[in-house]
Amino acid sequence: MLDTLRSAWKVTDLRKKIIYTLLMFLVFRIGAHVPVPGINHSVLQDVLQGNLFGIFDVISGGAFRRLSIFAMSITPYINASIIMSLLQVVIPKLEQLAKEGEAGRKVIAQYTRYGAVFLGLIQAIGMSVALGRQGVFYKPGLGTYLLVALTLTAGTAMLMWIGELITEKGIGNGISLIIFAGIVSRLPQGIASMGQQFQADVISMGNLVILIVLGLLIIAGVVAVNEGQRRIPVQYAKRVMGRKVYGGQSTHIPLKVNQAGVIPIIFAMSLMLFPVQIAKFINHPWARAVESSLGFGTVLNSVLYALLIIFFTYFYTAIVFNPMDVADNLKKYGGFVPGLRPGRPTGEYISRVLSRLTLAGAIFLALIAILPNFMIAVTGISTLYFGGTALLIVVGVALETMKQFESYLLMRNYEGFMK
């Protein structure tokens, strides 16, 4: 990995992309420290207590606990993306747009931005009203509520814009990298907190060793699953055109165990955080019931979180990979899977194999995501907010970004060979 980074830094175009991405990270971190106006931070710290806010704070890179302009992070955009993906299945017009190539994707992306701003505004209004009832504002009133709501919504819109700029002009997927940067920025504070607990004899050396070993095993497992693939052999028939013979070579279709990457984790996490976050600010018995039953570490939270991850793994895999399209393309160009007829039988076979692989990948993702509950029980370290999820996102995004580096370097090597 270090060799790839060194090689990438020597390439002028890649170096510019890396610098641009780092500058966007700097903007993100500066914004995470710009507070929303009119907030009494001494009262705010008393209100924002509990594991829920520790979890949300990790995702937002510390912006939520400070109630900065980026306090809502990128979650409204993720929720809007989920809704748009679901609507593409049930609304024919959106499904048709998705199949129209780049032009259709641009229209869907524009709809997603509008939806993100709308959801962000609703969430921001709810947060501002709830915080006002807790006495967090110096001068509570309609003007203050609107100012805070618009500031938080503008912060989310800016993060959405930064993510798209990183995707377009930087390196990697911008939205994933923003979440990645938020999690990584919280690691030093988490390590320092565990060091203080160790010095105060709250946690023992044995618990720290168990934590480190489990962390290394998780990283190794994530890398193995992300890189694991099932290769379906493909043979191309020979075709004679004039005096030349085409085809006849053997290749394979690589089916990844984790075809969806870290997207299911991010989707499921956003959906799980949203209702509990809203319920925290509502002074009503049913809101307290929702908060207690769906809070971090509860059985219902773990079960729903795991089921959502499995659902989104299948859902996202179905969106990005269509076995029937692959089978039709193979048939079109004279390819076939040995022992199977081209066309529909090949598509059904690929679909069966993909379904089994996706099940294994989804169960792995779900187990890693709920692992912090068991790690807290074993090690007694209560600061492991979404430790498994954080590691999954960090390692997954790092692997995807490194693959983009390697793709750029490989393309450059081909250009050099052609010259």
- Give residue-wise pLDDT tens across range 52-66: 555 566 666 667 777
Average pLDDT over residues 111-139: 85
pLDDT digits (tens, 9 = 90+) for 217-273: 878 888 888 888 888 888 877 666 666 666 567 788 888 888 887 778 877 877 777
* Mean pLDDT over the full length of the chain: 80
The pLDDT assigned to 195 comes to 76
Whether 416 shows a pLDDT value over 60: the answer reads: no
b/e for 271-285, b at 16 or more Cβ within 10 A? bbbbebbbbbbbeee
The pLDDT assigned to 413 comes to 66
pLDDT digits (tens, 9 = 90+) for 283-305: 677 777 777 777 666 778 888 88
Whether 179 shows a pLDDT value over 80: the answer reads: yes
The pLDDT assigned to 58 comes to 62
Report the candidate in 6, 21, 13, 22 with the shortest Cα–Cα distance to residue 408.
13
Whether 19 shows a pLDDT value over 60: the answer reads: yes
Please write down the long-range contacts of 361-365, taking CB distance under 8 Å and 24 or more positions apart: 361/225, 361/256, 361/257, 361/258, 361/259, 361/260, 361/313, 362/264, 362/309, 362/310, 362/313, 362/314, 363/310, 364/221, 364/225, 364/257, 364/258, 365/258, 365/264, 365/265, 365/309, 365/310, 365/313, 365/392
pLDDT digits (tens, 9 = 90+) for 388-407: 667 777 887 888 888 888 88
Average pLDDT over residues 142-146: 87
Do 347 and 327 touch, CB atoms closer than 8 A?
A: yes
pLDDT digits (tens, 9 = 90+) for 83-93: 887 788 788 88
CATH class, range 2-418: mainly alpha
pTM of the model: 0.74
Average pLDDT over residues 165-180: 87
**Helix 75-90 × helix 299-320 angle, to 10°:** 60
**How much of the chain exceeds pLDDT 90, in percent?**
10
Whether 417 shows a pLDDT value over 50: the answer reads: no
Q: Could you tell me the residue ranges of all domains in the chain?
A: 2-418
Tokens linked to 375: 């790690």
More confident residue, 137 or 374: 137
Residue 46 CB partners (closer than 8 Å, separation 6+): none
